[in-house]
């Protein structure tokens, strides 16, 4: 609807948000080529590993899992945040959510796709991966549903499917909008994806209904998924894995790193697509405060986990404890504390430094810190099994690092392609949010909750 009173006219907004779809700059091709090369390099390293054997990675006995599983938890963690944050913001009618939801949901889908590759990358006989899938087969064999890895399979797929739908359905109106504004093959492409959306009141009503049901369903699924990843470890009889708080600890860590990556993505999108008018300092301020809260929660959980281990002083538990805190993993441990708490907290706590750049610095620090945490959990425990004779060490090889680089590049590549092909800010939700904000007398104050009846527009 046209309203010339706002700072942005609808037409300007459409042009801003659809421009990346139509206009392709040289930087885009450069980025895709660079990322593509790294992905190819990672792919080659993986091919080498499949042909030669897992021995080309640094894993050994007793450290049977290494960088692959650490990165798996890390990616599943960042995937957790997107849809969960978006669903929670939608359910609580947070007024500032509108420009945030789509970029968050896209992170979820792509992080899950990439994270889900790691169990396969780490499989000794990856060509038999389909034996994990429960389907009737002529061998008459079924997977073992007692195994947390089968839970993983079910949880990841449920969450991936749910997140995909949760990303795609709210995108239908925007796809239709692009279809109506572009020509040629693009028109056919977006027309196909828009599934014939025309924007009748019934369609809108059902869409909002579907979004609200999905938001309710997806929150427990997101929590369950990262809990299942935690149970991969805590059901094992391993010192410092066999812990009851692991599931909530992992979920908190997941949200923590997920908000961080969301902020990083938003800062980059804002710069690259010139979205300063859409992703405003207020969004970074609010997400920064959320991040600050999770810094504290993370410290609380970590302290709770380490305190009881230290106090109980069981020899089996103390071995990995010492290895992490004082042993050769100590730089990782204290680095994690530094990156996850010491650096971000002052930046985020002081209003003056809680700027866009401040949030970016804190988020990058947290992303590194959370990866270190995952690495510590995997390697810190596995290097110190119960029988002292079997103790070992682990250092990743070039194969593991190449595959790690390749998968990170793949994640970024998917995100770049997505933000190129589709509006990364939900156009209709942004318009809706702006309309609601305009009705309020105090526009500049952060609006935490909006309309009493979601979707019901009362604008005169």
Partner 1 sequence: MTERVLGVFETPADARRAVRELVNAGIPRQNIIICSTEPMLDPEFLPVEDRKTRMSLWAIVGAILGCAIGYSLPVTAARLMGLASGGQPIVSLWAFAIVIFELTALGAIGGTVITFFREAGLPERPRAIPSAEMARTFVDAGLIVGVSGDRMETIEIADRLLREAGAREIEHQR
Partner 2 sequence: MAKWGMVIDLDRCTGCEACVIACHAENNLPIVGEEESAKGRQHNWIRVERYWEGEYPHIRARFIPVLCQQCDHAPCEPVCPVYATYHNPEGLNAQVYNRCIGTRFCANNCPYTVRVFNWFDHHWEKPLDEQLNPDVSIRTRGMMEKCTFCIQRIHRARHQAEDEGRDIRDGDVQPACVQSCPTEAMVFGDLDDPDSRVSQRARSRRAFRLLEELGTEPSVIYLKGDEWVEP
Return contacts of 274-283, CB within 8 angstroms, 24+ apart: 274/16, 275/16, 275/99, 275/425, 277/7, 277/8, 277/16, 278/16, 278/17, 278/99, 278/425, 278/430, 279/99, 279/100, 279/425, 281/355, 281/356, 282/96, 282/446, 283/96, 283/99, 283/100
| Interface pick for partner 2 out of 203, 392, 417, 451 (rule CB under 8 A) | 392
Going by C-alpha positions, the residue among 82, 64, 73 that lies closest to residue 152 is: 73
d(CA 374, CA 70): 5
Least Å distance between CB 120 and partner 2? 10
Q: 395 φ, ψ to 5°?
A: -140, 130
**Stretch (H or E) spanning 16:** helix 10-22
CA atoms within 13 A of residue 57's CA, in its CB half-sphere: 27
Residue 102 binding target from partner 2, partner 1, none, CB below 5 to 8 Å by type: none
Q: 101 and 283 in contact (C-beta within 8 Å)? A: no
Q: Which of 26, 73, 12, 23 is nearest to 370 (CA)?
A: 73
Strand, helix or coil for residue 447: coil
- Binding to partner 1, residues 228-267 (CB under 8 A): 228, 231
Taking CB under 8 A as the rule, does residue 60 contact partner 2?
yes
Residue 385 interaction partner, one of partner 1, partner 2, none, beta carbon < 5-8 Å per kind: partner 2
143 contributes a contact to partner 2 by CB under 8 A: yes
Among 31, 154, 245, 417, binds partner 1 (CB under 8 A): 154
Question: 221: which residues sit within 8 A by CB, 6+ positions away?
Answer: 155, 158, 159, 162
Q: Which tokens is 289 given?
A: 């405060």
Q: How far is the CB of 365 from partner 1 (least distance, A)?
A: 34
User: Using the rule CB under 8 A, is 456 a contact of partner 2?
Assistant: no
Q: Which listed option, partner 2, partner 1, none, makes contact with residue 458 (CB within 5 to 8 Å by class)?
A: partner 1
Q: Say whether residue 151 binds partner 1 (CB under 8 A).
A: yes
Contact between 416 and 48 under an 8 Å Cβ cutoff? The reply is no
- Closest distance of CB 457 from partner 1, Å: 6
In whole angstroms, the minimum distance from the beta carbon of 261 to partner 2 comes to 27
Residue from 14, 97, 98, 122 binding partner 2 (CB under 8 A)? 122
Q: Tell whether residue 387 is a contact of partner 1 (CB under 8 A).
A: no
303 binds, among partner 2, partner 1, none (CB under 5 to 8 A by kind): none
d(CA 454, CA 460): 17
Instruction: By CB under 8 A, tell whether 369 contacts partner 2.
Output: no
Q: Which does 64 bind (CB under 5 to 8 A by kind): partner 2, partner 1, none?
A: partner 2
Q: Which does 158 bind (CB under 5 to 8 A by kind): partner 1, partner 2, none?
A: partner 1
The answer to the question of residue 133 lying near partner 1 (CB under 8 A) is no
Residue range at the interface with partner 1 (CB under 8 A); choices 100-108, 204-212, 249-257, 381-389: 204-212
153 binds partner 2 (CB under 8 A): yes
- Answer for which of 11, 389, 449, 452 binds partner 2 (CB under 8 A) is 389
Give residues 284-323 in contact with partner 2 (rule: CB under 8 A).
Answer: none
Of residues 84 and 260, the one with the C-beta less far from partner 1: 84
What does the alpha-carbon distance between residue 18 and residue 178 come to, in Å, rounded to a whole number? Answer: 7
448 burial type by CB count under 10 A (0-12 exposed, 13-18 middle, 19+ buried) = exposed
List contacts with partner 1 (CB under 8 A). Answer: 1-2, 10-11, 14, 134, 140-146, 150-151, 154-155, 158, 161-162, 165, 169, 172-173, 176-177, 180-181, 191, 194-210, 213-214, 217-218, 220-221, 224, 228, 231, 428, 431-432, 435, 455-460
List contacts with partner 2 (CB under 8 A). Answer: 52-55, 58-65, 119, 122-126, 128-129, 131-132, 141-144, 146-150, 153, 232, 235-238, 382, 385-390, 392-393
């Amino acid at each position: 609807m046209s309203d010339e009173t706002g700072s942005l006219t609808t037409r300007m907004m459409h042009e801003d948000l659809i421009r990346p779809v139509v206009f392709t700059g040289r930087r885009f091709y450069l980025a895709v080529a660079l990322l593509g090369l790294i992905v190819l390099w990672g792919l080659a390293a993986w091919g080498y590993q499949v042909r030669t054997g897992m021995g080309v990675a640094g894993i050994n006995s007793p450290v049977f899992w290494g960088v692959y599983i650490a990165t798996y938890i890390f990616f599943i963690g960042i995937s957790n945040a997107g849809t969960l944050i978006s669903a929670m913001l939608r359910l609580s009618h947070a007024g500032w959510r509108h420009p945030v939801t789509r970029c968050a949901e896209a992170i979820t889908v792509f992080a899950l796709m990439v994270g889900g590759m790691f169990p396969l990358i780490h499989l000794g006989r990856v060509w038999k991966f389909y034996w994990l899938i429960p389907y009737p087969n002529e061998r008459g064999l079924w997977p073992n549903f007692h195994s947390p890895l089968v839970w993983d399979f079910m949880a990841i797929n449920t969450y991936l499917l749910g997140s995909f739908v949760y990303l795609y359905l709210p995108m239908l109106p925007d796809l239709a909008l692009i279809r109506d504004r572009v020509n040629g093959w693009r028109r056919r492409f977006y027309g196909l994806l828009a599934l014939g959306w025309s924007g009748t009141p019934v369609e809108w009503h059902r869409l909002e209904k579907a979004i609200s049901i999905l938001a309710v369903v997806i929150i427990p699924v997101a929590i369950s998924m990262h809990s299942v990843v935690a149970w991969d470890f805590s059901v094992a009889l391993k010192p410092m894995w066999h812990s009851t708080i692991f599931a909530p600890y992992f979920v908190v860590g997941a949200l923590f790193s997920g908000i961080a990556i969301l902020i990083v993505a938003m800062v980059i999108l804002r710069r690259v697509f010139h979205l300063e008018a859409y992703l405003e300092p207020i969004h970074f301020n609010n997400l920064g405060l959320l991040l600050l809260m999770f810094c504290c929660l993370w410290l609380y959980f970590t302290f709770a986990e380490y305190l009881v281990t230290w106090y109980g002083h069981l020899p089996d538990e103390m071995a990995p404890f010492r290895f992490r805190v004082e042993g050769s993993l100590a730089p990782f441990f204290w680095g994690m504390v530094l990156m996850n708490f010491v650096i971000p907290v002052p930046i985020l706590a002081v209003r003056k430094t809680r700027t866009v750049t401040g949030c970016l610095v804190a988020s990058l620090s947290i992303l590194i810190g959370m990866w270190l945490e995952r690495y510590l959990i995997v390697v810190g425990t596995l290097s110190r099994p119960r029988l002292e004779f079997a103790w070992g060490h682990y250092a990743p090889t070039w194969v593991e690092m190449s595959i790690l680089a390749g998968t990170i590049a793949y994640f970024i590549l998917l995100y770049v392609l997505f933000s190129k092909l589709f509006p990364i800010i939900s156009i209709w939700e942004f318009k809706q949010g702006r309309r609601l904000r305009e009705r309020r007398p105090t526009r500049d104050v952060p609006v935490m909750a909006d309309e009493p009846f979601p979707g019901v527009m009362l604008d005169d």
